[in-house]
Amino acid sequence: MTKTLTKRMLVIFLSAIVAVAMGQFITQSDSYAASGHHDHHSGQPGDQFQPPDDFGGSWWNDDEDEYFNGSGDTEIAEDPEAAEYAVGNLADDLSIELSGDDESAAFQWYENTADSEENATAIDGANESTLSGDSISTAAAGTHYYYCVVTLSDGTVLTSGSAEITVHDLAFTIQPVGGTYAVGKNITLTAAFIGNGDIQWYSSTDSSSWTEIDGADGTKLRVSSSTAGTTYYKAVATNGLDEDNADFVSISSSIATVTITGTSVVKATVGKLTYKTTGESTAAVTGVKSKKYTSFTISATVTISGKTYNVTAVSSGAFNGCRKLTAVTIGSSVTSVGTKAFGGDSKLRKITFSGSSVTAIGKNAFKGVYRSVKFVVPSEQLDTYKTLIQNAGAPKNASFTIL
pLDDT at res. 8: 53
Query: In sequence order, which residues have a C-beta less than 8 Å from that of residue 15 and are 6 or more positions away?
Result: none
Across 301-330, average pLDDT: 96
pLDDT at res. 88: 85
pLDDT at res. 30: 45
Contact in structure between 212 and 246 (CB atoms under 8 Å): no
- Percent of the chain topping pLDDT 70: 82
Confidence category of residue 15, pLDDT binned at 50, 70, 90 = low
Tell how strand 229-238 and strand 198-204 pair up.
antiparallel
pLDDT at res. 203: 98
- How far apart CA 340 and CA 326 sit, in angstroms, is 16
Least confident of 1-10, 98-107, 244-253: 1-10
Across 344-352, average pLDDT: 97
* Per-residue pLDDT tens over the stretch 391-403: 999 999 999 999 9
Please, what is the average pLDDT of the chain?
85
* Per-residue pLDDT tens over the stretch 260-309: 998 778 899 999 999 999 988 999 999 999 999 999 999 999 999 899 99
- Percent of the chain topping pLDDT 90: 71
pLDDT at res. 46: 38
* pTM to 2 decimal places: 0.49
pLDDT at res. 29: 43
pLDDT over 50 (residue 31):
no
40 or 154, which is more confident: 154
- How far apart CA 164 and CA 167 sit, in angstroms, is 10
pLDDT over 50 (residue 39):
no
Secondary structure of residue 135 in the 3-state scheme: helix
Query: In sequence order, which residues have a C-beta less than 8 Å from that of residue 169 and are 6 or more positions away?
Result: 86, 87, 141, 194
pLDDT over 80 (residue 118):
yes
pLDDT over 70 (residue 206):
yes
pLDDT at res. 14: 55
Contact in structure between 229 and 76 (CB atoms under 8 Å): no
The vertex-399 CA angle with 398 and 403, nearest 5°, equals 135
pLDDT at res. 245: 86
DSSP-derived secondary structure letter, 121: E
pLDDT at res. 68: 40
pLDDT at res. 102: 83
pLDDT at res. 262: 85
H/E run at residue 33 = helix 2-34
Confidence category of residue 197, pLDDT binned at 50, 70, 90 = confident
* Per-residue pLDDT tens over the stretch 64-90: 443 344 445 899 999 999 999 988 888
pLDDT at res. 86: 87
Name all domains of the chain by residue range, CATH numbers in brackets. Answer: 76-168 (2.60.40.10), 172-261 (2.60.40.10), 267-402 (3.80.10.10)
pLDDT over 60 (residue 7):
no
